[in-house]
Every structure is written in structure tokens, then in C-alpha cells.
Amino acid sequence: MVRSSGFDRYLLTRRTEINEALDTELPTPPACPALIAEAMRYSVFAGGKRLRPILTLAAAEAVLNRSHANTHSRNTGLALAMLGACAVELVHTYSLVHDDLPAMDDDDLRRGRPTAHIAYDEGVAILAGDALLTQAFVILARHDSDQPSAFDKRRFRALAHLAEAAGAAGMVGGQVLDLTATGTDLGNGDPNRKATTGNELREIHERKTGALIGAAAVTGAILAGGDKTAVEATKQYAAHLGLAFQIVDDILDVEGSVKNLGKTVGKDAEARKPTYPSVHGIDRSRALAAEAAAAARETLATAGLTGRLNDIADWVVSRGQ
């Protein structure tokens, strides 16, 4: 699938805006020691697609389009959504730093360069991840004296949603399930461990990957002032999108390249992790990804949400083509 030049320009513009905002929101000396500031920035500015923060902004735009917001409301909603986008990206980057640690996935390459624990050391990497996670909630919880109280309510709702997605019910829980399932993709190895089923695999991905993708979209919808219907539709869209994203990610671990992905490929198979290709096969996995993306688009159409969310669904699936 070929992306339009307009969408490519949109992605470039949003990435630039997000990077500028992240640069402003990350702490610097003397507010914190120089080493931790450097290590945090090392991982945040290593590159990456910025899918999740772009999703936050696109969801905000879709909600504002749906409500026919005036210029002032639109600008205010997008400004709040940018705070949410930064928070989402910091949570995501923290998760990558910790996932790459020797005790987790033990990766030495991320976004095309050495992982944090290789570039620094394991202790600094752990602390940098901790600091990134904490800073995400600082961004959303910080009170701006010139904002009306209604904006505080939006930010705290978004903060609670993002925190839940990052915690035991979401990403942390998903990582626990992932660690437990490693080595069970085909049921061999330990005879007392059964092969991971398709439903169990889906739960792992819904928590480990889908929870934050969902929170990214819902955070944008909340901060833009979306009503209950718009927020719920955004949540359903993101659930389908997150599934499509992870399936394609699993496919790329089989068929992708280090140059294109910026990380080590084939590690899932080497570790005998359950993945969509190992459980369903490549062809069926592609079909499932396409079905999930179609369901995401259908959700948008039903709710009357317009803008770039459809393009993002296409973008996610096209990575595996």
C-alpha cells in the first residue's frame, strides 16, 4: 500500500512538533544530574516512528472535527493533546528501555543503535526508564495556573487512563505474561508447560502492546474534550489498531530486516516466544491484521470520526507489506 504524500507530510510535521515538545518537557541540569538527563534523551531521541504520540494528536483532531470546535477550542484541545502525546511517548520509551534489559528480552539494538544498558550500563538504564515513566506523569499532573479547572479534570482523567495502561493491568501485566510464555510457542521444551493458545497470545499482546496504543488514542480524545461516545469509539478503534500493529510486528520479526526495523530480528523465534506467525502461520496472521485494521476503520465510520485515524490504520498494516 502506497501512502499519500499528504499523509507523509502530516507524519513529518507531527514528528517534528512532538520532538520539539519532548525537548522542552524533559528535565535538564541543574534540575537533575547530567548523567540521567543524558541517558533519558539518548533513548527518547534515538529515532522511532512516534506512532503512539501521533495517534494521540490524530485522535484529538478527530474528536475536534466531530464536535465542529471553533478555532480557540481547537487550539486549546490540541495544546493539551500535545502534553498527552509527550507523556505517552515517555511511557513507551521507558517500556523499551526496560524490555531490552538482560533480565527481560536482552536486546543490544534498539532504533538502530545500542540499547541504553549497552550505551551506559544496566543500572543507569533502569534509572533512566524509571525517570522517563515518572516524567510522563509530571507532564500530565502539572498545574498550569492560567488554565480553567475543566482542563485539570481532562488532564487527570487522561493521567488515570495512561497510568492504568502502564501498570499491572496493562503493560507490566503483559510483560509478566510474555516472560511466562517464553519457550512455549510450540509446546516443546518443558513437558509441564503447554503451548500458548491463540486466546492467550491475544491477551499478552492486548496488555503488553495494545494497552498503551489504546491509552494513546483515548488520552487524545479526553484531552480534546470528547464526549462519552467519542471517547468510547476511540477506545474501540485503538483496540483493533493495537492488535493489527502487534500482528504486523510479529510478522516483521520473521520477515523484516535490522536496517528497516532498527532492532534485532528473529529474536522471538530464537527465544521460542509465542507470536502470531508461530501460532497461526504467516498467511493467516496477515489476514488477521487486515481484519483488525478493517474493524478499526469501521468503528471510525460508525462514530463519525474523521481525520488521519484511517490513514494511521493503513500505515500500521502497510509496514508488513
Could you report the per-residue pLDDT of 116-169, keeping only the tens digit for each? 999 999 999 999 999 999 999 999 998 666 666 778 889 999 999 999 999 999
Distance of CA 223 to the CA centre of its chain: 17
**Model-level pTM?**
0.90
- Residue-wise pLDDT for 256-279, tens only, equals 655 555 555 556 656 677 788 888
| pLDDT at residue 189, rounded to an integer | 46
Q: Among 50, 91, 58, 114, which Cα is nearest to 211's?
A: 91
| Cell (9 digits) for 26 | 524533559
Mean of pLDDT values over 70-89: 93
Quick check: 230 pLDDT over 90?
Answer: yes
CA distance 80 to 232: 19
Domain that holds residue 113: 5-318
| Cell (9 digits) for 178 | 510474555
Quick check: 112 pLDDT over 70?
Answer: yes
- For residue 109, list its beta bridge partners: 114
Quick check: 13 pLDDT over 90?
Answer: yes
Q: How many CB atoms lie within 10 A of CB 313?
A: 23
Give 158's contacts (C-beta < 8 A, 6+ positions apart): 84, 87, 140, 218, 219, 222, 223
Residue 57 and residue 78 in contact, taking contact as beta carbons nearer than 8 Å: yes
Q: Among 94, 139, 97, which Cα is nearest to 118's?
A: 97
Give 176's contacts (C-beta < 8 A, 6+ positions apart): none
Strands 109-110 and 113-114 turn out to be antiparallel
User: Based on the structure, what is the number of domains in the chain?
Assistant: 1
CA distance 166 to 211: 7
- Residue-wise pLDDT for 54-78, tens only, equals 999 999 999 999 988 899 889 989 9
What band does 186 get if pLDDT is binned at 50, 70 and 90? very low
First-to-last CA distance in the chain?
A: 7
| pLDDT at residue 308, rounded to an integer | 96
- Residue-wise pLDDT for 21-56, tens only, equals 999 999 999 999 999 999 999 999 998 899 999 999
CA distance 226 to 38: 37
| pLDDT at residue 274, rounded to an integer | 77
Quick check: 200 pLDDT over 90?
Answer: no
CATH number at residue 73: 1.10.600.10
**DSSP per-residue codes, 151-179:** HHHHHHHHHHHHHHHHSTTTHHHHHHHHH
